Chain A
Amino acid sequence: MEDKVTALVEELRGKFPFIEVNEQKTVIVPVDKLLEFMQELKDNYALDFLTNLTAVDYPEENKFEVVYNINSIVKGYSLMVKTSVSREKPELPSVFPIWGGANWQERKVYDLMGIVFTGHPNLKRILLDPNFEGHPLRKDFQWEGGRE
């Protein structure tokens, strides 16, 4: 399975000059090429199952990292793709048109992290109350008993 991922990542690197690959074989894509790259993954590399979509806040680097884990049902391998958006304007295109599974996962990231997915059909809070203020998974969210 490891070899398959290595081969896949090498092929992707040759085909898309704009991507970076780190030592864990995670693909890092600039946000403006995200949709084009994701569509390619689904159409030509059988990565048809968006298993996980999440985001991490890095205030020191002034960015949110959005993480996508995509599986291939037929080929069995899995790929991690990351992209970053700035904390001032956390906006990126929704992958809902490519994988329907992004629907609730993007809503959850929007709810708890405050990242806006443009083009999402129904982007509103999912776990918290609609009147809740702030996005709790951000590192600067103040709460009692939090990490110092």
Chain B
Amino acid sequence: MLRTQEYFLNFGPQHPSTHGVFQIILTLDGERIVKAEPVCGYLHRGIEKLAESRTYTQVIPYTDRMDYLAAMLQNLGYVQAVEKLMGIEVPERAEYLRIISGELSRLASHLLATGVYALDIGAFTGFLICFRERERVMDLLEELTGSRMTLSYARIGGVADDAPEGWLDKVKQLMDAMPDYIAEYNGLITGNEIFQARTKFVGQLKPETAINYSLSGPVLRASGVNYDLRKVRPYGIYDRFDFEVPLGENGDCFDRFYCRVREMQQSVRIIQQAIEQIKEVGGPVQAKVPKVLKPPKGDVYHEIESAKGIIGYYVVSDGSNKPYRVHVRRPSFINLGYLDEMLRGYLIADVVAILGSIDIVLGEVDC
């Protein structure tokens, strides 16, 4: 009888398809994956420890540097946790600006995820087309915050500044054009036969497995589990908007990809409604908070729906001006935890397809 021998293959840490510095030690039998051992931590900066020696406000820029593709959502989770701890009410106008900038961030992140996923599969045009719109979203965010990636726009009790003159019109213009662009992505990537052959029924995830392994975001919803915190436990003012939660059926790579594309459509809808509603809302964008923030002794856990999944902040206060402990529940990190089992039995060529479909950011995995 012919005997085969298992062998090891290093995927990364320096490999463009890992989306950063990330290593998978693959055990292979021919082209089949027997075992996969993810190795992370190459980008570990100790943000949780650093936060303990900074004041509450000084922590905000650190949160940018986790998921730098959707920085506003990272800011938002943290400031809302501290606001919950201190009982701060946020002015209406700031809430709307948070929604608009947050959804723009989600849009930027999903545009990158969609484009880069096409690139992972081998479709270069899809990547360029998605980056065209992502660049416009980045320009808008830059005009609002002064920065493309590390926004640091949210403040405890509001946002840094009001939107500049005419900015909302520019956002509206792009949002009105977005549905056509999304149709273009669907024509170019989603409907592509080779793309579908590479992604359909690959890396299938059962709903009960996804729940058991605490997977969240589009990864969870692609398996048909209707769990979006914006709907389940609306935070901020999400209960004022009309939007749907896109779900998948097969829980495969294609569904995860297509969930993100449809989530972009919903983000566009939310932004359009927010722009309509914000016209009526004036006033300050920052609540009156003390110069030195000293939250009362205690702890709080607050989680929101980020672009990659549920991002949660556990903040402990000892009554001083610095947090006693900040812990972040990072969606990319926890979503990666099931990678080993997900890869087993598939071919080497599927590794990139499966890893890309989870949509990770190494800054967030390693924190």
Contacts and interface: CB of A to CB of B under 8 A. Distances in A.
Nearest to B303: A51
Contacts of A147: 52-53, 322
A121 to B, nearest CB: 11
B212 A112 contact: no
Interface residues of A, number: 37
Contacts of A73: 211, 225, 227
Interface string A38-72: 00000000001111101011000000000101000
B213 A51 contact: no
Nearest to A70: B214
B44 A128 contact: yes
A143 B49 CA distance: 10
Given A127-B44, A147-B322, A54 B314 contact: yes
B225 A50 contact: no
Interface string B324-367: 11010100011011100000000000000000000000000011
B301 A101 contact: no
B312 interface: yes
B26 to A, nearest CB: 17
A101 B53 contact: no
A74 to B, nearest CB: 9
A76 B314 contact: no
Interface in B176-222: 209, 211-216
B212 A146 contact: no
B233 A51 contact: no
B316 interface: yes
B232 A76 contact: yes
Contact of B312 (A24, A69, A99): A69
Interface in A8-33: 24
B320 to A, nearest CB: 9
B310 interface: yes
A80 interface: yes
A68 to B, nearest CB: 10
Contacts of A24: 298-299
B163 interface: no
B325 A126 contact: no
Contacts of A128: 41, 44
A142 B179 CA distance: 54
Give the most central of A51, A56, A125, A146: most B CB within 10 Å. Answer: A51
A104 B336 contact: yes
Given A24-B298, A73-B227, A104-B333, A49 B48 contact: no
Given A76-B233, A99-B212, 14 more contacts: A51-B216, A51-B303, A69-B312, A76-B232, A101-B212, A101-B213, A104-B333, A105-B337, A128-B44, A136-B49, A137-B49, A141-B49, A146-B53, A147-B322
26 contacts: A51-B214, A51-B303, A52-B301, A52-B312, A52-B327, A54-B329, A56-B327, A67-B301, A73-B227, A76-B232, A100-B213, A101-B212, A102-B214, A103-B213, A104-B336, A104-B337, A112-B48, A112-B49, A125-B41, A126-B41, A127-B44, A129-B41, A136-B46, A137-B49, A137-B325, A145-B53
Interface of B: 40-41, 44, 46, 48-49, 52-53, 209, 211-216, 225, 227, 232-233, 298-299, 301, 303, 310, 312, 314, 316, 322, 324-325, 327, 329, 333-334, 336-338, 366-367
